[in-house]
Amino acid sequence: MHWHWTRLEQLSALQWHEIGLLRQSVFVVEQRCPYPDLDRLDPVSDHLLGHDEHGRLVAYLRLVPPGLKFDQPSLGRVVVAPTARRSRLGQALVAEGLAGHVARYPGRPNLIGAQAYLTSFYESLGFITVSDTYLEDEIPHLDMRWDPPAAVANS
C-alpha cells in the first residue's frame, strides 16, 4: 500500500475525480444516502490517499482542521473500496490518518462523527464514545474521541 498526504489544490482534476468516484460509490450509492458528499470542508482539509500495488485508489480519508466541524481535528470521509475490504485496510487507513493527525496536531485529541454500526471498529483503534446516537443524513451516528498516547502528548 502506498500512502500519500496532500491538499486539494495539489491534486490534479483526474485525482480529485478518482476520489469523488470512490466517495460517491460508497457514501451515496452503497449507503443509499442522497445527500451531498462534497462540502466546504474539502478545500481546507488534508487528504490521505491509499493506492494499491496497481496504482488504484482503494482507501481515502480527510483530516479536518480544528474549529470547522468540531473544536478538535477530525478524521472524516473514511472509505475503503468494496474490492479491498476484509483485508484490515480500514485499520491501516485510520492508523495512518491518526499518525498524520499527531504530526499536525501533537497532543490534541481527534473527534469523529462515526456511523453507529462502526462503533466497535473505531473502539478497536482506541476511540471512545462521547455522545448519544443521533441522525446525520438519516444514518445513525455518534461522536467518538481518540486521545494520543501520553508519550506523544507530552513530547
- What angle is formed at CA 142 by the lines to CA 141 and CA 143, rounded to 5 degrees? 135
pLDDT above 90 covers what percent of the chain? 80
Residues in the chain: 155
What is the domain-level CATH number for residue 49?
A: 3.40.630.30
Total domains in the chain come to 1
Mean pLDDT across 43-52: 97
Mean of all residue pLDDT scores within the chain: 92
Q: What is the pTM (predicted TM-score) of this model?
A: 0.90
Contact 82, 58 (CB under 8 A): no
Q: What are phi and psi of 50, to 5 degrees?
A: -120, 115
Nearest partner of 15 among 53, 45, 54, 60, judged by Cα: 60
Chain segment 103-145, per-residue pLDDT in tens: 999 999 999 999 999 999 999 999 999 999 999 988 999 999 9
Residues of the domain holding 59: 2-153
Could you tell me the pLDDT band of residue 70, with boundaries at 50, 70 and 90? Answer: very high
Distance (Å, whole) CA 45 – CA 42: 5
Q: Once rounded to an integer, what is the mean pLDDT over residues 71-75?
A: 97
- 34 or 81: whose pLDDT is higher? 81
Query: In a 3-state reduction of DSSP, which class is residue 31?
Result: coil
The beta strand positions in 28-72, using DSSP E, are 46-51, 57-64
Q: Assess whether pLDDT exceeds 60 at residue 152.
A: no
C-alpha cell read off for 73: 481535528
Give the pLDDT of residue 20.
93
